A and B are shown apart, each in its own frame.
Chain A
Amino acid sequence: KQEVTQIPAALSVPEGENLVLNCSFTDSAIYNLQWFRQDPGKGLTSLLLIQSSQREQTSGRLNASLDKSSGRSTLYIAASQPGDSATYLCAVSTIKAAGNKLTFGGGTRVLVKP
């Protein structure tokens, strides 16, 4: 059974500092991994999708890396801003004969202080 862990559960940084968010998974037979952002009481916003054949994906200040063999993905956010304050979740699509299943991590709550 796939288990996805995000450590730390919460993070507080001063504005301008780079953010490093971690996601680890136990089953390396993944199809893709997706990073999301969630603001309080809202739905999830897709940030980046990395296919299992890719090592990294970039969008603006965001860069996500994937190391399938070690079961890890890292989301980097450069030059953080107060508007980056949110909860960040990763979701792993695990390959199953009956159909891929998505498993979410518990999220990392980020606070960027002005």
Chain B
Amino acid sequence: EIVLTQSPDFQSVTPKENVTITCRASQSIGANLHWYQQKPDQSPKLLIKYASQSISGVPSRFSGSGSGTDFTLTIISLESEDAAAYYCHQSGTFPQTFGQGTKVEIK
């Protein structure tokens, strides 16, 4: 099973700050890495597919990068509505797995 390790687990951020969340895979997964946002009491929502590809309707301040084992989700100029948990997910190998999540709080 491929283990995805996110860092940090928690981040408290001021609006307009930039946020960087990393996801490290225990073995290479190419670009089969996706990012989701989950707000309280809501279902997860797809943010980025295949490490860096944007999703229609997702604000352009969200971007992804990386390949192989190291991936990054970046939020440029955080807005208050971005308070949420963020998860990475690998679809390269069964069983598929998620990272443990990163909670972003707005100061």
* A, B bound: no
The chain B residues found within 8 Å of chain A, CB to CB, are: none
